[in-house]
C-alpha cells in the first residue's frame, strides 16, 4: 500500500494528538514529514547513516558473548502454538483475506481452540482491524455522506440492523465491513472513533489464557464512568497488577498492560479530567471513596500514585495530569520502559529518554546506542552551543522501537536550523534494528519484499522507522528535496512476518 506524503502527515499528526495523554510529544510533530522531505538528501544525513552502520558493526561484535542472556530473555515469552487451526488462519491472511474474512474464521473456529490458540486468533484479528481503523483516522468518517449515514440513518451510533438502509453503496459497504470485522464505534467528546468490539469477543465463549481472559472480562468502558463503583473498579486494578507480575511476556500481557493504563487514567483523571480537582479535595465524595479503595494496599503501584495525587495541594489540572502521564510512561508492570529526563548544561537543554529493561546488559547497550546516535547528530550539525536536543518514543512494536531525536540549533550567521534522526532499536537483543530482522527476510531479498508489499519502486533499501501508522519507508532522490515515501501498515507487517 503506497501513501503520498500529505496523507502520511495527516495520519501521523492525528494519531500523535490522540495519544498525547500518554506520551509527551514535542511541538515539532507537525514538521516531521516536511523535515524528512528536505533533509534526506543532506550530507549530514548521509554521515548519520554511515555512523549508524558503524554502531551496528560494533554492536554485532559486542553481543557475540551474550547468546545465553538473549536465550533467557526469549524463554520468558509466551509459547507460540503452530497448530493446524492457526496455520489455516495464517494461510487465509497470506491469500489476501481482509478483516471481514478473518473475523468470520475466528468466530467459526475459536470455541474449539486451545487457550493459546484463542489468544493468537484475537491477536491476528486485532492486527487485521487496523486497516479500517486507519481509514477512519484518515478523515473518511467526517465526509458528509459518512456523517449523514452515521447521524441520520443510524441515529448517531454504529447500528448493524440499520446499515442496509444506507443508500450510498460505498458508504454502506464501509459500515458493513466495520460491523463484520468485529469493530464498534465510540465517541470521545462527540468524536466518532472505531474500536474493537469487546462485547462481541466476550460472546465468543472461548477459553483464553488467564491474563487475556482478564482483558476480555475487564474491557467494560461504560463502568469506568460510574463514580459509585470506585472500590470495585480499583479492585480490578489490583487484580491486573497481580496478573501482570506473573504473566509471561507476549500478546496477552501487552494487552493487559494497555488496559491497566486505561483504568489508571480513567480512575485518576476521569472523563474529560473531571476527577482531577476532586482528588485534592478531602471533603469531596470521590476523594473519600478513593481513600477507602487504596487503604491497605501499600505495595500497589496504583495506590502509591493515587496517594501522591491526593497529597497535592490544588494547583493546576495540567500538573496533576503530568503525574498520571509520568506514571503511565514508567508503568512498573511492563518490561520495556523509557524514562524522560530534562537537563540543562549552561545554555544547552538536553531532553533524553533512558531505557530500562529487564536485562542489565541489554539495558546498557540500548542506552549506549541512544547516546551514540545523539552525539553523532550533534556533531553533524557542527554546533557547540545554542542547541537543544529533544527526544521522544515515536512508536514501539513488540520488542522493536523507534526513537526520534531532534536537534534545534543556531548556525554561525544566527539562523535557526533543525535536524532529526530516527534510531531503530531491537530491545530484545540490545542492537540496532535492521529491515532484515523486522521483515523476517534475508539481506539480498529484502528490497524485493519491500517493493512487493508496499507497491513501491525503491531502487535501493530505503531508510525506515516505526510510526503509529506502521512501518514508514523513505528514500531520498539525490540532491532533490523530494523523497519517495511508502507505508507498510500493521496488518501488512503481520502478513510479512507470517511468511
322 CB neighbour count, 10 Å cutoff: 12
CB crowding 171-181: b at 16 or more within 10 Å, else e: bbebbebbbbb
499 residues of the chain, pLDDT tens digit each = 333 333 333 334 334 333 333 333 333 323 333 333 333 334 344 444 444 444 443 333 333 333 333 333 333 444 444 688 888 998 888 788 889 999 999 999 999 999 999 998 998 898 888 878 877 766 677 788 998 999 999 998 899 999 999 999 999 999 999 999 999 988 766 778 888 999 999 999 889 999 999 999 999 766 666 667 899 999 999 999 999 999 887 788 888 988 998 898 888 887 767 787 788 888 999 999 999 999 999 889 999 989 988 887 665 556 777 777 777 766 777 666 777 777 777 777 788 888 877 788 999 999 999 999 988 988 888 877 778 888 877 677 778 889 988 888 887 777 788 888 889 999 889 999 999 888 888 888 889 888 887 777 888 888 898 876 678 888 865 544 455 777 787 667 766 766 5
pLDDT score recorded for residue 45: 41
Query: Which string of DSSP letters, residue by residue, matches 132-144?
Result: HHHHHHTTGGGSH
For residues 327 and 321, what is the distance between their CA atoms, to the nearest angstrom?
10
Q: Using alpha carbons, select from 369, 384, 460 the residue that is nearest to residue 422.
A: 369
CA-CA distance, 492 to 124, in Å (whole number)?
Answer: 11
Whether the CB-CB separation of 475 and 484 falls below 8 Å is answered with: yes
Q: How far apart are CA 394 and CA 399, in angstroms?
A: 14
Q: Count Cβ atoms within 10 A of the Cβ of residue 336 and give its class: 0-12 exposed, 13-18 middle, 19 or more buried.
A: buried
Q: For the chain, first and last CA: distance in Å?
A: 18
Q: Which residues pair with 191 in a beta bridge?
A: 188
Mapping DSSP to helix (H, G, I), strand (E, B) and coil, where does residue 275 land? coil
Choose among 241, 186, 196: nearest CA to 204: 196
Distance CA 449, CA 497 (A): 11
**d(C-alpha 329, C-alpha 22), whole Å:** 6
Evaluate whether 76 touches 249 at the Cβ level (below 8 Å): yes
DSSP E strands in 411-479: the ranges are: 416-426, 431-432, 463-467, 470-477
Strand arrangement, sheet containing 470-477: 463-467, 470-477, 480-488
Cell numbers that stand for 224 in this block: 469506568
Amino acid at each position: 500500500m503506497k501513501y503520498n506524503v500529505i496523507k502520511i502527515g495527516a495520519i501521523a499528526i492525528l494519531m500523535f494528538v490522540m495519544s498525547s495523554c500518554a506520551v509527551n510529544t514535542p511541538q515539532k510533530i507537525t514538521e516531521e514529514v516536511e523535515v524528512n522531505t528536505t533533509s534526506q538528501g543532506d550530507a549530514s544525513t548521509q554521515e548519520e547513516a554511515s555512523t549508524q552502520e558503524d554502531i551496528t558493526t560494533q554492536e554485532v561484535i559486542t553481543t557475540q558473548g551474550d547468546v545465553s542472556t538473549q536465550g533467557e530473555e526469549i524463554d520468558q515469552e509466551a509459547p507460540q502454538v503452530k497448530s493446524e487451526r492457526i496455520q489455516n488462519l495464517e494461510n487465509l491472511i497470506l491469500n489476501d483475506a481482509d478483516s471481514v474474512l478473518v473475523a468470520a474464521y475466528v468466530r467459526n473456529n475459536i470455541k474449539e481452540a486451545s487457550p493459546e490458540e484463542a489468544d493468537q486468533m484475537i491477536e491476528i484479528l486485532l492486527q487485521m482491524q487496523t486497516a479500517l481503523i486507519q481509514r477512519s483516522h484518515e478523515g473518511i468518517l467526517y465526509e458528509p455522506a459518512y456523517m449523514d449515514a452515521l447521524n441520520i440513518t443510524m441515529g448517531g451510533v454504529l447500528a448493524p440492523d440499520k446499515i442496509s438502509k444506507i443508500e450510498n453503496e460505498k458508504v454502506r459497504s464501509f459500515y458493513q465491513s466495520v460491523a463484520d470485522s468485529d469493530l464498534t464505534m465510540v465517541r470521545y467528546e462527540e468524536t466518532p472513533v472505531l474500536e474493537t468490539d469487546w462485547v462481541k469477543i466476550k460472546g465468543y465463549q472461548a477459553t483464553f489464557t488467564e491474563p487475556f481472559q482478564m482483558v476480555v472480562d475487564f474491557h467494560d468502558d461504560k463502568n469506568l464512568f460510574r463514580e459509585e463503583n470506585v472500590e470495585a473498579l480499583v479492585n480490578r486494578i489490583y487484580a491486573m497488577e497481580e496478573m501482570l507480575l506473573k504473566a509471561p511476556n507476549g500478546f496477552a500481557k501487552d494487552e493487559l498492560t494497555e488496559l491497566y493504563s486505561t483504568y489508571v487514567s480513567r480512575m485518576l483523571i476521569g472523563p474529560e479530567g473531571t476527577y482531577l480537582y476532586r482528588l485534592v479535595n478531602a471533603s469531596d465524595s470521590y476523594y473519600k471513596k478513593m481513600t477507602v479503595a487504596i487503604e491497605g494496599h501499600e505495595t500497589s503501584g496504583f495506590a502509591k500514585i493515587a496517594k501522591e495525587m491526593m497529597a497535592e495541594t490544588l494547583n493546576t489540572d495540567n500538573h496533576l495530569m503530568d503525574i498520571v502521564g509520568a506514571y503511565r510512561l514508567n508503568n512498573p508492570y511492563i518490561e520495556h520502559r523509557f524514562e524522560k529526563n530534562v537537563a540543562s548544561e549552561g545554555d544547552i537543554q538536553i531532553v533524553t529518554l533512558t531505557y530500562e529493561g529487564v536485562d542489565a546488559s541489554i539495558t546498557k547497550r540500548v542506552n549506549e546506542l541512544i547516546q551514540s546516535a545523539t552525539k553523532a547528530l550533534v556533531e553533524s550539525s557542527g554546533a557547540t552551543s545554542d542547541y537543544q536536543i529533544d527526544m521522544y518514543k515515536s512508536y514501539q512494536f513488540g520488542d522493536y522501537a523507534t526513537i526520534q531525536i531532534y536537534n534545534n540549533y543556531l548556525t554561525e550567521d544566527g539562523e535557526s536550523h533543525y535536524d532529526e534522526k530516527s534510531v531503530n532499536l531491537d530491545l530484545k537483543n540490545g542492537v540496532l534494528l535492521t529491515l532484515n530482522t523486522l521483515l523476517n527476510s534475508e539481506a539480498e531479498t529484502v528490497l524485493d519484499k519491500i517493493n512487493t508489499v508496499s507497491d513501491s519502486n525503491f531502487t535501493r533499501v530505503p531508510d525506515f522507522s516505526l510510526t503509529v501508522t506502521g512501518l514508514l519507508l523513505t528514500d531520498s532522490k539525490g540532491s532533490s528535496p523530494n523523497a519517495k515515501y511508502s507505508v507498510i501498515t500493521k496488518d501488512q507487517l503481520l502478513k510479512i512476518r507470517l511468511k
